[in-house]
Amino acid sequence: MLGSIAEGVTEVDGFLEGEDSLATLQAFRAMGVDIEGPNDGRVVVHGVGLHGLKAPATALDLGNSGTSMRLLSGLLAGQAFDVEVVGDHSLMSRPMRRVTEPLATMGAVIDTTENGTAPLKIRGGRKLHGIDYAMPVASAQVKSCLLLAGLYAEGRTCVHEPAPTRDHTERMLSGMGYLVHCSDGTACVEGGGTLTSTSIDVPADISSAAFFLVGASIAPDSDLVLEHVGINPTRTGVLEILRLMGADIEVINPREVGGEPVADLRVRSAPLRGIDIPVEQVPLAIDEFPVLFIAAACAEGRTVLTGAEELRVKESDRIQVMADGLQALGIQAEPAPDGMVIEGGALTGGQVDSKGDHRIAMSFAMAALRASGEIRIDDCANVNTSFPGFVDLASNTGLSISQ
């Protein structure tokens, strides 16, 4: 996204060819951006500048990517042309008022359904002005959306978050020469600046690594090294929570690549114990909770999660769908409006419906490492949304898995 609206050519290495990322590439190609690749993880983006995008011929289809839809809402609110943004059935049911309402206070005009969902019809040619916005719920997607809109706004846009969230957008804006003021949970940008192209080396994603961190923790006699993993402090909640549960995770060779902290992670099997998950860690591990629930099911004692109501509006209702799946495998799992209580126990085999949610499908695949019988996971085509090659990689590390 930022490479497309920068001046010059941005080169990206380590590009993940997941469906979300590919849908985003295609959206910018549809708006006139010349993008080479992906080719062996390499993408070259020929930026058109902040005001160089062109009206697409048809609606932009972002597939299953909530991140793309929410961030693009901010970026597109500042364009001169009208555009419609759509997605698959799951994405079209996800709440978008959390971005459309603050964008409206900036002067954007975005039409949604009566329920506040996509399709989003974004009107062009609107003059945006900066706002001072306190987010009611910590969300990196909302923060990033408003900062991107702030690039096109007159004056300063400031976003205040109630708890720390991932800061990749702020880091990358700074890396492309755009001044971002960050302090005490607030990020601010001034409109009217310029982005300058750069080279980006994308580290391995900790959300994807999380499945193998849990898998190696719960499978007997495991010893696994995950290389070149991003350990941005706004993303390491999964490491902190697993360590509190007793996981044996070692951070090896920490370094910085392209402004992002990176390390190798060595994880060995360890007896896990149930915990009360600290509420301050919840925003830092929000995408990893499906597989953390598997860790909790394999732990001794009770694990309690609160403060995670955001899980109910992800690709699925992750609280309810995970509770249903765990119960089907013989685990006591009691859903709550904002979390879950899980009693560790013995996983049986059984059949689980992932409801088309990629993270839930991969989480229950890891549960098979401790189950007494076969686990069948239905409706899991969307694994390629975020983790193409998951089945092959899991097979190579010792999991008996087939499609």
User: Is there a shared CATH topology between the 9-201 domain and the 206-396 domain?
Assistant: yes
Q: How much is the pLDDT for 330?
A: 97
Q: 206-396: what CATH class?
A: alpha beta
Catalytic residue among 20, 88, 167, 287: 287
Q: What is the CATH number of domain 9-201?
A: 3.65.10.10
Bond preceding residue 233 cis, omega within 30 of 0: no
Taking the CB of residue 205, how many other CB atoms lie within 10 A of it?
A: 17
Q: Which residues, given as ranges, of the chain have pLDDT below 70?
A: none
List, as one string, the DSSP characters of 191-225: TT---B--EEEPPBPHHHHHHHHHHHHHSTT-EEE
Nearest of 369, 274, 359 to residue 329 by alpha carbon: 369
Q: How much is the pLDDT for 207?
A: 93
pTM more than 0.85: no
| Model pLDDT for residues 370-392, shown as the tens digit of each residue | 999 999 999 888 787 778 889 99
List, as one string, the DSSP characters of 74-88: HHHHTSSS-EEEE--
First and final C-alpha spacing in the chain:
33
Domain chopping of the chain, boundaries: 9-201, 206-396
Q: How much is the pLDDT for 34?
A: 98
Q: d(Cα 326, Cα 364) in Å, to the nearest integer? A: 9
Q: d(Cα 103, Cα 108) in Å, to the nearest integer? A: 5
Partner residues linked to 335 by β-bridges? 340
The strand pair at 180-183 and 199-201 is best described as unpaired
Q: Residue 185 contacts by C-beta under 8 Å, 6 or more apart in sequence? A: 160, 161, 162, 163, 164
Q: How much is the pLDDT for 156?
A: 98
Q: How much is the pLDDT for 206?
A: 95
Structure tokens at 165: 């969230």
Active site residue 392: no
